[in-house]
Chains A and B, each alone.
Chain A
Amino acid sequence: MPVTMPRQSPLRGAHEALGARFTTFGGWEMPVEYGTIRAEHAAVREAAGKFDVSHMGQLVVTGPDAGALTDRLVTCDVGSMAEGDARYGLITDEAGVILDDTIVYRRAGDYLVIPNAGHDAEMADRWTTHRDAWGLDAAVENATESLAMVAVQGPDAAALVGEAADEAATNLTHMHATATTVAGVEGFVARTGYTGEDGFEVVCPAADAETVWAAFDCQPCGLGARDTLRTEMGYLLSGQDFDPETEPRNPYEADVAFAVALDTEFVGRDALAAVAEGGVDERFVGLVLDERGVPRHGYDVTDPDGRSIGHVTSGTMSPTLGEPIGLGYVEAAAAEPGTDVRVVIRDDPKRATVRATPFIT
């Protein structure tokens, strides 16, 4: 069996100096926590936290057909994006199954596509093979190793970014981005995030990552808090809440139909038009446990009589609510908020209720 060394962020040394504990995720060794997940989570909800998200993929697509190529590979309407727009979309196969989710940024001279950790090479290959098949004029660079990305999230994020960056950054509205200077570093700042709070994501050269990281004086946060924060919002995690091999789902099942523009041409469009017409058998929902315990990935969901109706894909003890929350797929008939269900934890059915997401307001 080939042994692959985990990939390292350019901020590895900074994390070690902060006493981070590491975990391997998507082929990257990244901080899971610096102190406690609970404290990091609370900092983001109440003040601000910073995350090293350099494990996210970075594809830079240039050339006259860069927009057309990206539009045909992503479910959202890339063609209507103006410079400075950021848009969430899915990358689906011909059958409409989600391969990955992404944010596409239209920049001054290119498109920046952000696949999930470990999907960068696969997506770079997908872009180049389709470019060739379609005879389009575009260049695709996998810039994941040469760029770093730092997220600053929380109600105080705008003040922190205001101190470190040009005014252009704090003037951004949600889902917009601009090239700007951060702590003297030429970077690209977006008002986006994965926490449900106001926040920014800063892309910069890997060589300048430490300067940008140090520019934000707030709680460093690891993947542990990133996961609890996104779970409270009901945001999908690639490879867990959907995965072409282990959890094949289309955007209608996964409750992200808002990111599907059926009036555009993209791989999977025809299959998804049929799904939109015919409906789905299972739907992605929130679950709250009404007994003690913690819902976890893979647990069975049943009706009150014990008949299996779905399963949990993500779960945690919500640090904000102090309640056990989960995400998962259940039969469409059981997907209505308020539905009484059971989550089976170590052979023990625990009472649970289907809840609309986000869990917090």
Chain B
Amino acid sequence: MSYDIPDDRRYVASHEWVRVDDGTARLGISDFAQDELGDVVFVELPAPGDALARNEAFGVVESIKAVSDLYAPVSGTVTAVNESLEQQPELVNESPYDEGWLLELELADPAEVEELLTAEAYRTQTG
């Protein structure tokens, strides 16, 4: 099975992605991660204003069969969360890179992003 891994963002080994636009970073989980989890039924996220520390657990995504911690690929302050997921957690399965995004961060240190896996490196890892 081959997974969708867009080139326009960075990844971490724990299967989260980060995409940066004008200093705002958007976070989500990869196509591989959503497929491994199966039917996502619940997402627990921090609130706007909360601080995230790199590599620390910041939330939980639950499928019917599993509970999985979410890890922050980068540090920053939450500026927005995807409120659609409260009613439609299945968006994480259906559109992990777009409508199923999790939250947005104001980056504490934009240089951290450069240390993350490129799409190519992540592809090698999950391949």
A residues whose Cβ falls under 8 Å from a Cβ of B = 32-33, 36-38, 224, 227-228, 292-294, 296, 316-317, 319, 324, 346
Q: Choose among B44, B60, B64, B86 the residue that contacts A316 (Cβ–Cβ < 8 A).
A: B64
B residues whose Cβ falls under 8 Å from a Cβ of A = 38-39, 41-42, 44, 60, 62, 64-65, 67, 86
CA distance A37 to B39 in the complex (A): 7
CA distance A38 to B67 in the complex (A): 16
Q: Please tell me if the beta carbons of B67 and A224 are within 8 angstroms of each other in the complex.
A: no
CA distance A26 to B39 in the complex (A): 23
What chain A residues lie within 8 Å of B65 (beta carbons)?
A: 32-33, 37, 224, 227
What chain A residues lie within 8 Å of B86 (beta carbons)?
A: 292
Q: Is the interface of A mostly helix, strand, loop or mixed?
A: mixed
What chain B residues lie within 8 Å of A317 (beta carbons)?
A: 41-42, 62, 64
Q: Please tell me if the beta carbons of B42 and A292 are within 8 angstroms of each other in the complex.
A: yes
CA distance A227 to B66 in the complex (A): 13
What chain B residues lie within 8 Å of A224 (beta carbons)?
A: 38, 64-65
| 15 pairs of residues in contact across A and B, judged by CB atoms under 8 Å | A33-B38, A36-B38, A36-B39, A37-B64, A38-B39, A224-B64, A292-B86, A293-B42, A294-B62, A317-B42, A317-B62, A317-B64, A324-B41, A324-B42, A346-B44
CA distance A37 to B90 in the complex (A): 13
Minimum C-beta distance from B68 to chain A (A): 12
Minimum C-beta distance from A348 to chain B (A): 9
CB-CB nearest 4 A-B residue pairs: A317-B41, A38-B39, A37-B64, A294-B62
The listed residue with most A CB atoms (<10 A of its CB), out of B60, B62, B65, is B65
11 new A-B contacts at CB < 8 Å, known A292-B44, A317-B41: A33-B65, A37-B64, A37-B65, A224-B65, A227-B65, A293-B42, A294-B42, A294-B62, A294-B67, A316-B64, A319-B64
Minimum C-beta distance from B90 to chain A (A): 8
What chain B residues lie within 8 Å of A319 (beta carbons)?
A: 39, 64
Q: Choose among A36, A37, A324, A346 the residue that contacts B60 (Cβ–Cβ < 8 A).
A: A346
What chain B residues lie within 8 Å of A33 (beta carbons)?
A: 38, 65
Determine the residue in chain A with the shortest Cβ distance to B60: A346
CA distance A207 to B52 in the complex (A): 56
CA distance A224 to B66 in the complex (A): 10
Determine the residue in chain B with the shortest Cβ distance to A322: B41
CA distance A224 to B65 in the complex (A): 7
Q: Please tell me if the beta carbons of A294 and B41 are within 8 angstroms of each other in the complex.
A: yes
The listed residue with most A CB atoms (<10 A of its CB), out of B60, B62, B67, is B62
What chain A residues lie within 8 Å of B62 (beta carbons)?
A: 294, 317
What chain B residues lie within 8 Å of A316 (beta carbons)?
A: 64
Q: Please tell me if the beta carbons of A228 and B64 are within 8 angstroms of each other in the complex.
A: yes
Determine the residue in chain A with the shortest Cβ distance to B41: A317
CA distance A294 to B62 in the complex (A): 8
What chain B residues lie within 8 Å of A292 (beta carbons)?
A: 42, 44, 86
CA distance A292 to B67 in the complex (A): 14
Determine the residue in chain A with the shortest Cβ distance to B64: A37
Determine the residue in chain A with the shortest Cβ distance to B67: A296
The listed residue with most B CB atoms (<10 A of its CB), out of A33, A294, A316, is A294
Minimum C-beta distance from A260 to chain B (A): 33
CA distance A293 to B44 in the complex (A): 8
